[in-house]
Amino acid sequence: MTRVDVLSIFPELFPGPLGAGVVGRALERGLLSVQAHDLRDFTDDRHRQVDDTAFGGGPGMVLKPEPLLRAVRQFRAADPSARVILLSPQGRRLTQEVVRELAGEAHLVLVCGRYQGVDERAREEIGEELSIGDYVLSGGELAAMVVVEAVARLLPGTLGSQESLSDETFTESGFEPPLYTRPAVFEGREVPEVLRSGHHAEIERWRREQSREQMRRRRPDMVRDGATAGGV
């Protein structure tokens, strides 16, 4: 993934937290571009209206299909290979496996809903939905940022890409082994001897065991005999 277009009624939220740290550096270095577009720019009425009441009644507003699909069609016409994804709690769950898959795409278009949701016809035409977890946000923008943050650190030239190239199965799944820095003794608590031994093969083995043990204890669902779900 080198290019991300985001469609939102709050484009000013971007880059936001994506401007800092690893992703911020990737943006600065041009390894990645994130461009937020204002959904209102795709309206054609004087009031730039993006939402309307729901047929059948009920509380809240619904994002109208016309501006949303005008934008999506324009992105697809400009790049037929662009992968267009709506952020939605009904979507496929974002896992590290999905993150790796998305990192292999050249161009993502992330569509952020607001209000009660998106008109069903627009939703169908977009075709793909992704959820960052089983909870309800008030807009898709933070979800889109989570997707970009997770994907960007796998891009060639970033730290995460180095990690995923090595066979550090557990660290790549987020289960870091215990980490220590100086001092060697902190308030009477020592750094494990093996880490100070200089014996690299043993250190590797210890880290692997620790990570796997943490995972087994905390997330047994992620441990499959000899492999890890969402790991390498």
Q: Residues in the site for ligand 4HQ, rule: CB under 6 A?
A: 87-89, 113-114, 117, 131-133, 135-137, 139-140, 143
Tokens encoding 183: 């001092």
Residue 138 CB, shortest distance to ligand 4HQ, in Å, is 6
Among candidate residues 27, 35, 47, the one with its CA nearest the CA of residue 5: 35
User: Which residue lies nearer to ligand 4HQ by CB, 141 or 168?
Assistant: 141
Q: How far is CA 23 from CA 93, 96, 158, in A?
A: 22, 17, 9
Residue 81 CB, shortest distance to ligand 4HQ, in Å, is 23
Among candidate residues 196, 213, 99, the one with its CA nearest the CA of residue 151: 99
Residue 163 CB, shortest distance to ligand 4HQ, in Å, is 25
Tokens encoding 211: 């990570």
Residue 47 CB, shortest distance to ligand 4HQ, in Å, is 21
Other beta carbons within 10 Å of 82? 19
User: Which residue lies nearer to ligand 4HQ by CB, 144 or 223?
Assistant: 144
User: Which residue lies nearer to ligand 4HQ by CB, 122 or 195?
Assistant: 122
User: Which residue lies nearer to ligand 4HQ by CB, 83 or 114?
Assistant: 114
Tokens encoding 134: 């089983």
User: Which residue lies nearer to ligand 4HQ by CB, 110 or 215?
Assistant: 110
Strand order in the sheet with 51-53: 51-53, 61-63, 117-118
Q: How far is CA 101 from CA 83, 95, 154, in A?
A: 11, 10, 10
With tokens 């959904």, the residue in question is 39
Residue 137 CB, shortest distance to ligand 4HQ, in Å, is 4
Residue 213 CB, shortest distance to ligand 4HQ, in Å, is 31
Q: Are 231 and 211 in contact (CB under 8 A)?
A: no
User: Which residue lies nearer to ligand 4HQ by CB, 87 or 215?
Assistant: 87
